[in-house]
Chains A and B, each alone.
Chain A
Amino acid sequence: MEQIASAGGSASPPTAVTPDPSFLRQVEKAGGATISPCFQCVKCSSGCPLTFVMDLLPNQVIRCVQVGLKEEVLRSDTIWLCASCETCTTRCPNGVDIAHLMDTLRQIALRENVTPSQPGIVATHAAFLAEIRARGRVHEMFLVARHKLRTRNWTRDVALGWEMFRRGKLKLLPKGVKGRKWLKERVPRVN
């Protein structure tokens, strides 16, 4: 099973580009980490546990942002498959906060309505935030139901859900937070 070989394969960036700094500026303005110190040592990607399914390696994402390959980055699987495990950020010798950069890229992709390469993962975030909007807390059964409504995958995990219910892991009645009025206004809807 240890075939981590396909890493960084499928969507290799073009080999010749005319650098365009506007995307880098947009990312930095959106609060996404200072990435210019990166010297492409690839330590981030070496320790990343998700490279086996990523199309761009984390160090390639950085390079793409630097040279302005906005489409390639925002349409990549990588920005959604990153599990926010913080290994890259912890290990980067230049203090680049790669995990935070991934967050910023997701936010830009959502704001600009880029069709997500990983709709099932975006649906998780959408369902999660909808739960917070509704009650201020997340009820796992409702979370899964919302996810199913969005992905229309009715059969997945049904047996598991039943098993969890049988063991009393799923409660029936959700509880709301009293101080939740602000959430209606503040929590964004994710399409």
Chain B
Amino acid sequence: MDQVLSYYPGCSLHGTASEYDASTRAVCELLGIRLEELEDWNCCGASSAHAVDHELSVLLPARNIALAAKADKDLFIPCAACYGRSKVAQAAMTEDAGLRAKFGEAVGMEYRDGVAIRSMLDLLADPDVLQRIRAGVKRPLRGLKVACYYGCLLVRPPKITGAADYEAPETMDRVVEALGGTAVPWSYKTDCCGGGLVLGRPDVVGRLIDRLMTRAVEAGAAALVTACPMCQGNLDTRQKDAAQALGRDYQLPIFYISELIGLAMGHPKPEAWWKKHLVDPRPLLGTI
């Protein structure tokens, strides 16, 4: 693992998911990994560009990849959606000379590649990183029972992500155990939360969220853990409406995995992260 990585936060981490950005930076610092934010990065197109214009959905992330190639370091993308779109674009640019030519024409930059794109899961799957996390635990999360929720784009489609365990991933589960917490087994780790549909059809998204929440509760979880700003935002901000609409009473904090690592490794100011959550995790954390 390189100790210096190019860092692509993406729009969510600069906005509603600022606690994911802050906790990711904090954890990397604790682990001795230096992050250099990619200069002048643009939006990856997320869940919309690919629905409207295939070529554009490749050109947008390709510009970021070209910027990272200039910086000549691995590119770390903690947002699951940005990661997925960037990996798809990278594969398309490699395969299709036509797209590479288009890139030069449209963007006015030379396309270069040779960049390894890493997700949060890629980072945490590194045995050396896991070892450093384990060794750095100051405040074990004993008694904290969580369901690790991976969602779609960190693992699917496996021909793009390279994930071997795409139906039942374990990377975050292992991290939670290393932090002294308990990751409950459950079957909905990679089911979709409907993130991209939330503005257009919040009612439909409510049904998807409800399924995840009720299953997590049944599995004995007191919280969920994610590595995706769309999943976290969706579950955190929409569970109240879903519970109301469907007559339930769950209320589970939704953590970013980086927040739990930072907390257990003794980061001095996790309070700033908790304040951004709609379901306040402090009462639960007070019990462990």
Contact = CB atoms under 8 A, between A and B. Distances in A.
A binds B: yes
Interface of A: 1-2, 31, 49-50, 52-53, 80-81, 83-87, 89-90, 97, 99, 103-104, 106-107, 110, 118, 120-125, 127-129, 131-132, 136-140, 143-144, 147, 156-157, 160, 163-164, 167-171, 175, 177-180, 182-183, 185-188, 190
A138 to B, nearest CB: 4
B235 interface: no
Contacts of A124: 48, 196-197, 199-200
A123 B204 CA distance: 16
B158 A179 contact: no
A83 B197 contact: yes
Interface stretch (B12-20, B26-34, B115-123, B256-264): B12-20
A146 B276 CA distance: 24
A121 B158 CA distance: 27
Interface string B59-102: 11001000000000000000000000000000000000000000
B14 A85 contact: no
Interface string B187-222: 000111011110111101001101100100000000
B106 interface: yes
27 contacts: A2-B211, A49-B191, A49-B208, A53-B201, A83-B197, A84-B152, A85-B156, A87-B156, A89-B157, A99-B157, A103-B50, A106-B52, A107-B52, A118-B200, A120-B199, A121-B200, A124-B196, A124-B197, A136-B42, A139-B11, A164-B16, A164-B237, A168-B18, A168-B276, A180-B42, A186-B59, A188-B52
Closest 4 CB pairs of A and B: A121-B200, A120-B200, A128-B48, A85-B192
- Among A86, A125, A157, find the residue whose CB has the most chain B CB atoms closer than 10 A: A86
Contacts, number: 167
B251 to A, nearest CB: 14
Contacts of A110: 52
B202 A106 contact: no
B237 A178 contact: no
A125 B45 CA distance: 10
A30 B27 CA distance: 44
A138 B43 contact: yes
Nearest to A141: B15
Contact of A136 (B43, B46, B152): B43
A68 to B, nearest CB: 22
Given A131-B43, A132-B60, A170-B16, A103 B51 contact: yes
B254 interface: no
Contact of B51 (A53, A84, A123, A160): A84
A52 B50 contact: no
Contact of A52 (B43, B47, B207, B237): B207
A86 B42 contact: no
A86 B53 contact: no
A140 B54 contact: no
B4 interface: no
A49 B196 CA distance: 14
A140 B15 contact: yes
A34 B109 CA distance: 32
B232 to A, nearest CB: 11
Given A106-B52, A138-B43, A139-B15, A89 B156 contact: yes
Contacts of B208: 49-50
Nearest to B153: A86
Given A160-B237, A182-B108, A90 B45 contact: no
Nearest to B63: A179
Nearest to A148: B199
